[in-house]
């Protein structure tokens, strides 16, 4: 049994069971450091944090602690595209090539913004891209332009684990003249005081914890990956090449990862920041009297676009326009909920029907066994309990 010696936080009346679930994560599922934050109808009703910032258990985890949330950043990145659509600066069914002409090469002229958001652009992997190009935006964008789709666009969904960030990000850059992270900062995080970013920022210095366990071997053991990489390069199947070749031999704890930008996996922030972002959407696009987007834009995020097995992980998902929909057993956010999970367990979601903005961020990764979107028992417990509490208190 593990006790939380430095447990801090609060849960308002009715949300005490969430505190019990949070403590259970430490007692039964080896939580190290974590935060869970819940907004209900725009009010902060739970903010729980505890455990340790480091594996040596010397520095306490606080509500200011920041983590890389991996694919949970796909939600905020998608919100940026929805914001541009809401402003009339982009259309869902317009070809990507309208704003990014070079993209049309090699059979990609008919691929739409919708296809990008629904992971049906046919580019879940770039087998012919230069190895390690993921840290060079221009080289990766050129590789996308030169690449043919690896599967037929607009038909079967295939989760674009890494390429989604470059596709969505370049659309944002071409339309606004800003890198996606800067667009998010200027239009969302600063105006609404959101402690979350599409990329790591200097204000996160001293606040950013490391994943435990790490994604890759220590530097002196990196040679053990060489046979794996060689096999991926020579193989014909695109699935193992989704991201590993783009970021070979790099770890999420290194400066190279933290300081680069790919809004498919590089997002950083606190649970309170991610929860507040979704709280805005749970309120129909407005928070504290300030509007981010229209209610119609939020309604679009609730649309289910496919409910089937996607080809990358062979996982059966419910997915919308860049956001995962409520999928019991995988992404439990209640009917009408939407958001995104991240590899390792971090998640954020909004549920306008229940008025919920929710986020969970942690530093001990859940090691997936059935697909990269699996959030694990700790995130599942907290999300499920939050939805149950909200359902129980519905008028």
Give yes or no for a cis peptide into 218 (omega within 30° of 0). no
Distance between CA 155 and CA 158 in Å, rounded? 9
pLDDT given for residue 394 in this prediction: 84
Which two three-digit tokens encode residue 318?
């419910």
pLDDT given for residue 328 in this prediction: 86
pLDDT given for residue 247 in this prediction: 60
User: 3-class DSSP state for residue 31?
Assistant: coil
pLDDT given for residue 82 in this prediction: 98
> In the 3-class helix/strand/coil scheme, how is 312-368 assigned residue by residue?
CCCCEEEECCCCEECECCCECCCCCCEEEECCCCCEEEEECCCCEEEEEEECECCCC
In a structure prediction context, what are the per-residue pLDDT tens digits for the chain, which is 395 residues long?
344 556 688 899 999 999 999 999 999 999 999 999 999 999 999 999 999 999 999 999 999 999 999 999 999 999 999 999 999 999 999 999 999 999 999 999 999 999 999 999 999 988 888 877 888 899 999 999 999 999 999 999 999 988 999 999 999 999 999 999 999 999 999 999 999 999 999 999 999 999 998 665 555 554 554 554 454 444 556 554 455 456 654 566 677 777 789 999 989 999 999 999 999 999 999 999 999 999 999 999 999 999 998 888 788 899 999 999 999 888 999 999 999 999 889 999 999 999 999 999 999 998 765 544 578 999 999 999 999 999 998 87
Distance between CA 362 and CA 332 in Å, rounded? 18
Predicted structure pTM score: 0.92
DSSP per residue, 167-189: HHHHHHHHHHSS-HHHHHIIIII
List own/partner pairs for 312-315 with CB under 8 A and 24 or more apart. Answer: 312/124, 312/158, 312/159, 312/160, 312/161, 312/239, 312/242, 312/372, 313/159, 313/371, 313/372, 313/373, 314/371, 315/159, 315/370, 315/371, 315/373, 315/374
Which two three-digit tokens encode residue 3?
């006790």
Distance between CA 296 and CA 294 in Å, rounded? 5
């Amino acid at each position: 049994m593990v006790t939380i010696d430095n447990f801090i936080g609060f849960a308002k009346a009715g949300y005490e069971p969430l505190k019990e679930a949070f403590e259970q994560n430490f007692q039964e599922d080896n939580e190290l450091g974590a935060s869970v934050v819940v907004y209900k109808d725009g009010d902060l009703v739970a903010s729980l944090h505890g455990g340790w910032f480091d594996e040596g258990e010397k520095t306490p985890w606080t509500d200011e602690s920041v983590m890389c949330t991996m694919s949970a950043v796909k939600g905020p990145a998608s919100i940026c595209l929805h914001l541009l659509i809401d402003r009339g600066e982009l259309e869902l069914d317009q070809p990507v090539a309208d704003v990014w002409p070079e993209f049309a090469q090699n059979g990609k002229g008919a691929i739409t913004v919708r296809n990008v958001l629904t992971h049906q652009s046919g580019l879940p992997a770039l087998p012919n891209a230069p190895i390690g190009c993921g840290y060079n935006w221009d080289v990766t964008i050129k590789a996308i332009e030169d690449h043919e789709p690896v599967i037929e666009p607009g038909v079967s969904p295939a989760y674009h684990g890494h390429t989604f960030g470059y596709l969505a990000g370049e659309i944002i850059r071409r339309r606004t003249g800003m890198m996606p992270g800067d667009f998010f900062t200027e239009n969302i995080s600063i105006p609404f005081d959101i402690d979350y970013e599409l990329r790591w920022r200097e204000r996160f210095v001293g606040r950013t914890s490391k994943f435990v366990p790490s994604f890759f071997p220590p530097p002196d053991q990196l040679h053990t990956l060489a046979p794996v990489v060689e096999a991926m390069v020579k193989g014909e199947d695109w699935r193992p090449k989704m991201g590993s070749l783009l970021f070979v031999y790099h770890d999420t704890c290194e400066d190279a990862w933290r300081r680069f930008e790919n809004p498919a996996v590089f997002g950083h922030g606190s649970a309170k920041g991610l929860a507040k972002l979704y709280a805005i959407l749970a309120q129909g696009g407005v928070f504290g009297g300030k509007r981010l987007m229209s209610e119609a834009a939020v309604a679009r995020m609730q649309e289910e676009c496919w409910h089937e097995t996607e080809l990358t992980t062979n996982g059966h998902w419910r997915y919308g326009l860049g956001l995962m929909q409520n999928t019991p057993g995988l992404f439990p956010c209640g009917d009408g909920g939407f958001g995104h999970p991240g590899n390792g367990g971090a998640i954020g979601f909004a549920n306008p029907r229940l008025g919920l903005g929710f986020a969970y961020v942690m530093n001990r990764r859940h090691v997936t066994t059935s697909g990269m979107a699996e959030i694990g028992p700790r995130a599942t417990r907290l999300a499920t309990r939050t939805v149950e509490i909200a359902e129980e208190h519905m008028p």
